């Protein structure tokens, strides 16, 4: 174990239990194995010699990938599916009345949530690079994974979006390097075992849990303090600076646009939202960087990735070359195609700050009009940040919205998309994706960009829209 348990958040006790159980068990069953966060964990455990099985409700490319590894997967969840399992892992999306989950608990089989198992897996690696931050986690962890992979570091990875280079959101390496996206939701990242902690930014989010910004900063501080080797942090972000105050006993490495940072950028040029900049390390010129992902904010993500790679013995020239090969991750300004001269893209942005940088980048890309098709996610976030949402959704030329996806919440806030629409002149909203797609289909014109936005299932609206265009041919 990397830590004294007394120095860790109380939730890590569970992770410790898992780590000990993993020394004894052989057969592990995954409930919801097709989930994007579950598949990489299954792959890593499979590579470690564990006998796995899994279940899910629907067939998918992910299930095919898992079966190709020789892992049996059942579609449809029944109590008998857990037969022979010595440990159960389930996703946060699994409801309490799931028959497999009920059977596991009734039979006394040790049962753990996905975030807890991820924590135990990070403890298996001696160089675990955990990337956290309110915004930019997936893009930056994808950058780092690709850059390390192209430079022979062969990392295992668990990231939040599909990386085209590996056609997956995870991979199994053959050494002690791991890249892990570390989510702050309900303090999940405090269950991890980071050797290198990367902090991109700290902002107000998940307020239904944290209640206020001070509590968020405190959690990020705990996370930074858990790193065994180094903390790589945004030296331009005031909240991040508060989060790393008083951290000692490890190397502290800053990045940002100010030349007071260890890694910084100068001579930034934006060309249709794509940045070029000179990268420096403590006054030493590293090279000119040309990014293939849009938005000024990606300069910060790129600097963080360069810092991580150079701290892991990748030469600056090689790090930059690999970075320039990076063209994005799934659902991060992902272009889905061009139809009738209309570009259709999809993005995971669901917080006002994320929407702002994404939409500002889109507006700089030279389109005739930009259509933002937005699905608000969770009642609490929509209610608490409504004015912020309204402000950023005024940026595009057109704003189309769906009703709020409540996810795990009940609408005790009495908040509705109609209330948000009233604050955005010219916006429209619909109850169904079919209605959204139909409206955009009838009104979008050649030269426009249509981008779906949100962390729920708004991408389905893009798929319906594409289907309509294809039906014309």
Tell me the three-class secondary structure of 397-430, residue by residue: CEEEEECCECCCCCCCCCCCHHHHHCCCCCCEEE
Same-domain check for residues 311 and 376: no
pTM for the structure as a whole: 0.91
For residue 7, pLDDT over 50 is answered with no
Q: How many domains are there within the chain?
A: 3
* Final residue of a structural domain among 94, 119, 144: 119
pLDDT at 12 (0 to 100): 61
Residue 329 domain-assigned? Answer: no
Residue 220 domain-assigned? Answer: yes
Residue 165 domain-assigned? Answer: yes
Same-domain check for residues 389 and 464: yes
Same-domain check for residues 361 and 425: yes
Mean pLDDT across the chain: 95
Residue 324 banded pLDDT, cuts 50, 70, 90 = very high
Residue 328 domain-assigned? Answer: no
Report the C-alpha gap between 349 and 346 in whole angstroms.
Answer: 9
For residue 5, pLDDT over 90 is answered with no
* Final residue of a structural domain among 64, 90, 119: 119
For residue 218, pLDDT over 70 is answered with yes
For residue 222, pLDDT over 90 is answered with yes
Same-domain check for residues 312 and 348: no
Mean pLDDT of 41-70: 94
Query: Residue 261: which CATH number?
Result: 3.40.1190.10
Same-domain check for residues 196 and 109: no
Tokens coding 447: 């030269």
Mean pLDDT of 371-376: 98
Same-domain check for residues 209 and 146: yes
Report the C-alpha gap between 131 and 330 in whole angstroms.
Answer: 17
* Final residue of a structural domain among 268, 296, 323: 323
Same-domain check for residues 150 and 167: yes
Tokens coding 242: 């508060």
Report the C-alpha gap between 306 and 101 in whole angstroms.
Answer: 43
Q: How many CB atoms lie within 10 A of CB 243?
A: 27
Query: To the nearest whole percent, how much of the chain has pLDDT over 90?
Result: 92
For residue 1, pLDDT over 80 is answered with no
Report the C-alpha gap between 230 and 250 in whole angstroms.
Answer: 5
For residue 81, pLDDT over 90 is answered with yes
Same-domain check for residues 303 and 388: no
Report the C-alpha gap between 2 and 179 in whole angstroms.
Answer: 17
Report the C-alpha gap between 297 and 362 in whole angstroms.
Answer: 13
For residue 2, pLDDT over 50 is answered with no
Kindly report, residue by residue over 423-449, the tens digit of the pLDDT. Answer: 999 999 999 999 999 999 999 999 999
Residue 247 domain-assigned? Answer: yes
Same-domain check for residues 368 and 467: yes
pLDDT at 6 (0 to 100): 37
pLDDT at 472 (0 to 100): 85
Residue 11 banded pLDDT, cuts 50, 70, 90 = low
Query: Residue 42: which CATH number?
Result: 3.40.50.720
Query: Residue 428: which CATH number?
Result: 3.90.190.20
Q: Are strands 334-339 and 342-347 parallel, antiparallel or unpaired?
A: antiparallel
Q: Are 129 and 144 in contact (CB under 8 A)?
A: yes
Mean pLDDT of 57-74: 93
Same-domain check for residues 338 and 454: yes
Same-domain check for residues 140 and 160: yes
pLDDT at 422 (0 to 100): 98
Mean pLDDT of 120-139: 97
Same-domain check for residues 355 and 378: yes
**Domain membership of residue 85 as a residue range:** 5-119
**What are the two backbone dihedrals, phi and then psi, of residue 213, each rounded to the nearest 5 degrees?**
-65, -35
**H/E stretch holding 149:** helix 137-150
- Cross-strand pairs, 264: 256, 280
Kindly report, residue by residue over 383-415, the tens digit of the pLDDT. Answer: 999 999 999 999 999 999 999 999 879 999 999
For residue 329, pLDDT over 50 is answered with yes
pLDDT at 376 (0 to 100): 98
């Amino acid at each position: 174990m990397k830590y004294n348990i007394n120095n860790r958040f109380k939730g890590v006790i569970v992770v410790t239990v898992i780590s000990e159980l993993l020394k004894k068990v052989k057969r592990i069953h995954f409930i919801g194995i097709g989930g994007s966060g579950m598949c990489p964990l299954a792959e890593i455990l499979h590579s470690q010699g564990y006998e796995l099985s899994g279940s899910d409700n629907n067939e998918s490319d992910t299930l095919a990938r898992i079966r190709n590894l020789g892992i049996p997967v059942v579609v449809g969840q029944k109590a008998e599916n857990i037969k022979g399992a010595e440990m159960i892992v389930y996703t946060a999306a699994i409801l309490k009345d799931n028959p497999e989950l009920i059977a596991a608990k009734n039979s006394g089989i040790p049962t753990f949530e996905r975030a807890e198992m991820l924590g135990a897996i990070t403890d298996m690696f001696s160089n675990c690079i955990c990337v956290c931050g309110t915004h930019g986690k997936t893009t930056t962890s994808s950058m780092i994974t690709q850059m390390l992979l192209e430079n022979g570091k062969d990392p295992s990875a668990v990231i939040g979006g599909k990386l085209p280079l590996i056609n997956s959101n995870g991979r199994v390496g053959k050494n002690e390097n791991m890249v892990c996206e570390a989510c702050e939701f309900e303090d999940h990242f405090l269950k991890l075992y980071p050797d290198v902690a990367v902090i991109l930014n700290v902002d107000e989010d998940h307020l239904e849990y944290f209640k206020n910004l001070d509590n968020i900063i405190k959690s990020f501080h705990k996370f930074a303090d858990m790193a065994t080797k180094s903390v790589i942090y945004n030296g331009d972000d005031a909240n991040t600076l508060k989060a790393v105050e008083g951290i000692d006993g490890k190397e502290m490495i800053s990045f940002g646009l100010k030349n007071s940072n260890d890694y910084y950028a100068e001579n930034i040029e934006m060309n249709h939202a794509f940045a070029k900049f000179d990268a420096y390390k403590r006054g030493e010129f590293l090279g000119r960087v040309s990014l293939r992902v849009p938005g000024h904010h990606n300069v910060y993500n790129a600097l963080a990735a360069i810092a991580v790679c150079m701290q892991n013995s990748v030469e600056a020239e090689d790090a930059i070359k690999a970075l320039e090969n990076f063209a994005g991750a799934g659902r991060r300004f992902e272009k889905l195609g061009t139809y009738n001269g209309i570009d259709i893209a999809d993005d995971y942005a669901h917080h006002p700050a994320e929407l702002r940088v994404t939409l500002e980048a889109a507006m700089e890309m030279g389109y005739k009009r930009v259509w933002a098709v937005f699905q608000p996610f969770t009642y609490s976030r929509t209610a608490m940040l409504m004015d912020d949402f309204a402000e950023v959704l005024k940026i595009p030329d057109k704003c189309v919205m769906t009703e709020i996806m409540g996810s795990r919440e009940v609408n005790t806030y009495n908040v509705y998309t109609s209330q948000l629409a009233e604050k955005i002149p010219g916006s429209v909203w619909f109850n169904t994706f079919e209605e959204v797609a139909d409206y955009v289909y009838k009104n979008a014109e050649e030269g426009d960009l249509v981008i779906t936005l949100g962390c729920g299932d708004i991408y389905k609206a893009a798929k319906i829209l594409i289907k309509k265009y294809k039906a014309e041919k």
